[in-house]
Amino acid sequence: MRHILLLDLKDDPEAIAAYRHWHRPGGPPAAVNRSIREAGIESMEIWQAGDRLVMVMETGPAFDPEAKRARDAADPDVQAWETLMDGFQKRLAFAAEDVKWVPTEQIYSLEAQP
């Protein structure tokens, strides 16, 4: 299953550069990459335009977002990463208080067109 999620960065060129640096190959801690893979996330990409981020995530049948959230909450290395990333990120204005990455809804597909 494909998931497309959105999040903004703080509109600060230095913060954006630091965020990009933390996401370079080898940047995220091994615990973060392990958490993603063990959750049944088969691929994940983050794309950037200005201060807007778009995450494209493909998940397998074992993916359970609530179970991942619970495991991550109990993992101090993942929590340290989330705290670090919170310093760069800005939640979307319409996001619920407890939502960081906002899921999108597909409204068009060429495949579905006649």
At 10-28, the pLDDT tens digits run 999 999 999 999 999 999 9
Range of the domain at 68: 2-94
Q: Give the CATH number of the domain where residue 50 resides.
A: 3.30.70.1090
Contact, 88 vs 16, CB < 8 A? yes
Give the three-class secondary structure for 56.
strand
Burial letters for 82-91: b for 16+ Cβ neighbours within 10 Å, e otherwise?
eeebeebbeb
Task: Indicate whether 113 belongs to any domain.
Answer: no
Taking the model in full, what pTM does it have?
0.92
Task: Indicate whether 62 belongs to any domain.
Answer: yes
Domain count, the chain: 1
- The pLDDT tens digits of the residues spanning 60-96 come to 999 999 999 999 999 999 999 999 999 999 999 999 9
Q: How many CA atoms lie within 13 A of 112 on its CB side?
A: 4
* Interaxial angle between packed helices 30-38 and 76-86, expressed in degrees from 0 to 180 and rounded to the nearest 10: 110
